[in-house]
Amino acid sequence: MSSAAPPRRPVFGAVLLSLAAVCWGLGFYAQRMSIAELSPLTSTAVRFVLAMPVAVAALAWCARRGIRIPWRSGAVLGVLLYIAFAMQTVAMQYTPVSRVALLTGLYVVFTPMLQPLFKLGRPTPIQAIAAVVAVMGTLLLVGVIGDGESTSTPPNIGDALTIVMAVICAVMMLLIGQWTPHEHPVALNAVQIAVMCVVSVVVTGVVEGAASSAVLSTSFSTWASLVYLAVFSTIAAFTLQMMGQRHLSPAPASVIMLMETPVGVIAAVLLLGEAMAGLQWVGALIALGSVVVSVVGEHRREA
C-alpha cells in the first residue's frame, strides 16, 4: 500500500528544499567541470552510474521494510529528469553557466502556468503578468533585445535547450507535488535514479558508441565533479526535494528551490570567472523580478 500522507510541516519542508537548492546551485559549476574532458552525454551517464549502487541499496532497504516501490511514477520522473539533465549539460557547451542558472530558474514562472493541465487551477492574473515579464527579461538576458554590447555570448541553441529544460522542470514540480504525499521519498528517488542510469547508458551507447577510455583517464577534478553530481546533486538533492514537497504545494516549493539560481550564478562568477555584460544584468533582474511577481500571485490565490 502507499505510504500515508504525513502531517504538513511547512518550515521543515522549506529547510529541506533550501538544502536541495544549494546542492543544485553548486551543481551548475560541477556540471561545467565534468564536461571539460568528457562529452555531455558521457558525463551524464557516468554521474548516474555512480549513483546507481545507492539506488539499488535503497530499493533493497524499502523492500525489506515492506515499503511500496513506485515503479510507474518513478519511471516517468526518471525519463523526464534524464532529458532535462542531458539538455542542461549539452547547453553548457554553448551558454555560460551563469546564464544557464538564470534561465533554469524560470521554471518557477512556468509552474503556475502549467497548473491547469494538472487540474490545479488557472494562474492568477498576476502570475500571467509574471510570465510576460519573464519573457522580456529572458530576451534581454540572452541578447535578443539590445545592442551588440548587451551580451558577452550571442543567443544560441544552449539558451533554447535550457528554456525547454525549465519547462520540463515545471512539469516535474507538479508531478512530484501530486505523487510525494502518497509515496515514500526514498523509494521514489531510488526508482528515478535507477531509470536515469539505464536510460543514460542506453542513449550514450546508441549516440556515442562504446564507453570511451577517456572516462578512466580523466583528471581528479573531473572525477570530483562527477562524484559531487552523483552524491549531492542526484542522491541527496532529490531525496531532500521529495521529502520537502510532502510538506509544501508545488508553487511555493518551486520558489524556495529558486535559491539554486543565485547560488549557481555566484559559483559561476567566483569559480569560473564568468561575467555578464550590459543589458544582461537588467534582463537577469527582470527575470528574477518575474519570479517575485509570480510568488505574490500564489500567495493571493491561497489567501
Does residue 298 carry a pLDDT above 70? no
- pLDDT score of 7: 63
How far, in Å, CA of 239 to CA of 243, rounded?
6
How far, in Å, CA of 182 to CA of 14, rounded?
19
Q: Residue ranges per domain, the chain?
A: 10-126+155-268
What whole-number percentage of the chain has pLDDT above 90? Answer: 39
Q: What confidence tier does 1 reach under pLDDT thresholds 50, 70, 90? A: very low
Per the model's pLDDT, the better-predicted residue between 213 and 38 turns out to be 38
- pLDDT score of 3: 47
pLDDT digits over 109-138, tens only? 888 888 888 877 777 777 777 777 777 777
Does residue 302 carry a pLDDT above 80? no
Average pLDDT of the chain to the nearest whole number: 83
Nearest to 241 by CA among 206, 232, 283: 232
- pLDDT score of 5: 53
With contact defined as beta carbons under 8 Å apart, do 203 and 78 qualify?
no
Nearest to 97 by CA among 33, 54, 48: 33
How far, in Å, CA of 199 to CA of 206, rounded?
11
Q: What confidence tier does 260 reach under pLDDT thresholds 50, 70, 90? A: confident
Mean pLDDT along residues 258-281: 80
With contact defined as beta carbons under 8 Å apart, do 149 and 210 qualify?
no
Contacts 24+ apart (CB under 8 A), 61-66: 61/186, 62/184, 62/186, 62/187, 62/190
How far, in Å, CA of 118 to CA of 31, rounded?
31
- pLDDT score of 200: 95
Tell me if residue 245 falls in helix, strand or coil.
coil
Mean pLDDT along residues 35-61: 93
pLDDT digits over 145-200, tens only? 665 454 567 788 999 999 999 999 999 988 988 887 788 888 999 999 999 999 99
